[in-house]
Amino acid sequence: MLRLQGIAVSSGIAIGEAMVLGRETFDVPDRLIEGTAVEQEIERFRGALAAAVEELSRQRDAVIRELGQRSGSIFNAHLEILQDTKLREDIESLIRERHYAPERAVSQILRRYADVFRRLPNPDFAERVNDVYDIGKLLLRSLLGQAHSEVFQLHSPVVVLAATLTPSETARLDRRFVRGFVTETGGPGGHTAIVAQGLGIPAVVGTGPFLGEVSGGDTVIVDGDRGLVIVNPDEATLREYREQYRAIETLQAELQDIRGLPAETLDGTRIHLFGNIEFPQEAEICLEHGAEGIGLYRTEFLYLGRATLPSEEEHYQAYLQVVRAMGERPVTIRTFDLGADKIPRDWLPRQMGWDSESNPCLGLRSIRLALRHLPMFRSQLRAILRASAIGRVKVMFPLIATLAELRQAKFVVADVMEELAEAGIPFRREIPIGMMVEVPSTVIMLDRFLPEVDFISIGTNDLLQYTLAVDRTNRNVVSLYSSADPALIRLLSQTIRTAEERRVSVGLCGQMSSSPIYTMLLIGLGLRDLSVTAGAIPEIKKVCRSVTVAQCREVVSHVMEMENARDIRAYLREELVKILPEFGRLP
Ligand code: PEP
Ligand code: MG
């Protein structure tokens, strides 16, 4: 039995057979071919190439069926490399001129390509190296006729174990079969974690290297609440986890009963629960869980894993899908928050100015990028404004740090409105405009920001990162990345108080609101709008319906006396479990 401690990023328990990704090795025959066999071998290579293209296209179509057009475009980058003429010519010339067997030619050329990418000074190309390896594997599998073990075409339940998974790859996981996943790298606030939560897949990241110690088919337990991974558990451990799994299922079934009821505290205070989404398809999942609207639509996912910028029409169609699904309910569309760990790996890193950044979290990300690339920003704003004519759309700017940025962004909105008006394109001129509070400077200057916005939403994922100077995706500093940190809680308190005084609507959409541990604290601090991961809505509602505001305020007074994250979290857990013992499984 192997026990690993990683970082818990997506709640729940998964038990299943391991599927190990990224460790596939092939016996590449080191042989030369007869001169007379060249044409035949080239034909064999072309056949394998065509089969690989077909295979990828099939996977893409399956993902499009499941998650929609935009998610399917994740495959385009791989397809582009695979169909690259230069790559094909390089491989064929090794077969033709040096009489290499196709397997050997593929292996050598792709290794050479990977080396070139690896040597480039830009760290963004590291991702490209992985793409090249993926393509090599696909071609070799096709040539060597090995069984496909791709995670994207599963027929039975598995637990996926991988060195790393990008947010886009995570989005492609088939929810019907992927019980849970574990990655060796990654941190608590990365977007791979956020996508896993959105899909409701229990996940642990940042375990450190362990893939060498597991084999496909091993039994694996993923404890997405405690960050534990157990490989080949003994009977007693397996029994214990099966019981916990059943307890969670029972709790989930009970929570379904309150689906249609409001999130109202025992003393009659109404809390509004909205959903966080990354893909339009998730809007339906939010509705199934009883969301009152979308509090955060992370539109940057429209840009990831594709080779070109999304057009205005593509934006519009995505927004329309969400707005139509939500009907009368509000939909807060956040303008693209690209950069940091959300980098479209296949296009324009240089044009975006990312290639020279040594510290992307503090670099050209998010609204800064939008204001630097106005045509891209305007095209998205046109689509958002057009969608505002159809439903209750709000627009929100991410990562605002200064008043000048907010004013410039609003100026662009006003200008785009004029453009639409002149063209006779309908939109809602009174569309509410809000900003994220996720940089400490905005908390400090909040009294100046508030008169200029209709609402604010606190992004604790980044606020925590920037307040404590701790990278949200870095497993080495995970112990510092806690939403229970007293500095963060003071910033929340200050933000909420200032917004209340100025009567500006304030919500919270960071991951903190998706954990029942923090619900009492957030209500006690005065929050009434929480935007959470779809799957967490029922649990958060259950907490809301089991407490009084007075109780929550008591909790806050106690927390305000405390000094460190560990004690605060332990206290909050204790208070929650006193009221709802069924949450005892949470660490
Ligand atoms: C946040 O920072 O809390 C937030 C909601 O934005 P994101 O996680 O997309 O950076
Ligand atoms: Mg953020």
* Residues 323-343 pLDDT 10s: 999 999 999 999 999 988 777
Query: Ligand 2: distance of its center to the CA of 215 in Å?
Result: 37
Per-residue pLDDT averaged across 32-51, rounded? 86
- Report the amino acid identity of residue 189: G
Name the active-site residue from 191, 289, 315, 373. 191
Rounded Cα distance, 244 and 227, in Å: 15
Q: Helix 486-501 crosses helix 549-560 at what angle (to 10 degrees)? A: 130
> Relative to the alpha carbon of 189, which ligand is closest?
1
What rounded mean pLDDT belongs to the chain? 89
Rounded Cα distance, 385 and 315, in Å: 11
Rounded Cα distance, 99 and 139, in Å: 18
Residue 105 contacts by C-beta under 8 Å, 6 or more apart in sequence? 45, 91, 92, 94, 95
509: annotated active-site residue: yes
Cα end-to-end span (Å), the chain: 22
Range 75-78, long-range pairs (CB < 8 A, 24+ positions):
75/305, 76/305, 76/306, 76/307, 76/346, 77/131, 77/305, 77/306, 77/307, 77/345, 77/346, 78/131, 78/134, 78/135, 78/138
Of all atoms in ligand 1, which is nearest to the CA of residue 191?
8
Of all atoms in ligand 1, which is nearest to the CA of residue 462?
2
Q: If you take atom 8 of ligand 1, which residue's CA is the nearest one? A: 461
Ligand 1 pocket (Cβ < 6 Å) reads 194, 296, 298, 337, 438, 459-462, 509-510
Name the token pair of 258. Answer: 């309150």
Name the token pair of 116. Answer: 């070139």
Report angle CA 201, 259, 545 to the nearest 5 degrees. Answer: 100
Name the percent of the chain lying above pLDDT 90.
61
Of all atoms in ligand 1, which is nearest to the CA of residue 337?
9
Contact 403, 449 (CB under 8 A): yes
Question: pLDDT tens-digit profile of 156-205?
Answer: 889 999 888 877 778 778 888 999 999 998 888 888 888 898 888 999 99
Query: How many distinct helices (H) and strands (E) make up the chain?
Result: 22, 16
Rounded Cα distance, 220 and 183, in Å: 13
> What 3-state DSSP class applies to 237?
helix
Residue located via tokens 């986890």: 241
Name the active-site residue from 286, 289, 315, 509. 509
Range in 227-231, 256-260, 397-401, 419-423 with the lowest mean pLDDT: 256-260
Band of residue 67 on the pLDDT scale cut at 50, 70, 90: confident
552: annotated active-site residue: no
Band of residue 28 on the pLDDT scale cut at 50, 70, 90: low
Name the token pair of 440. Answer: 């400490």
Mode of pairing for the β-strands spanning 219-223 and 228-231: antiparallel
pTM for this entry? 0.77
Strand pairing partners for 178?
Answer: 158
> What 3-state DSSP class applies to 258?
coil
> Relative to the alpha carbon of 296, which ligand is closest?
1
Q: What are phi and psi of 301, to 5 degrees?
A: -65, -15
Q: CB atoms < 10 A from the CB of 111, how many?
A: 13
Strand pairing partners for 272?
Answer: 529
Q: If you take atom 6 of ligand 1, which residue's CA is the nearest one? A: 459
Query: Ligand 1: distance of its center to the CA of 213 in Å?
Result: 34
Predicted pLDDT of residue 135 = 82
Q: Could you tell me the CA-to-CA distances from 526 to 1, 130, 284 in Å, in that order?
A: 46, 46, 29
Band of residue 148 on the pLDDT scale cut at 50, 70, 90: very low
Selection from 300, 360, 310 nearest residue 126 by Cα? 360
Per-residue pLDDT averaged across 575-585, rounded? 93
Contact 446, 495 (CB under 8 A): yes
Predicted pLDDT of residue 256 = 85
Name the percent of the chain lying above pLDDT 70.
92
Name the token pair of 500. Answer: 């209340």
pLDDT at 144 over 70: no
Strands (E), 184-280: 203-205, 219-223, 228-231, 272-277
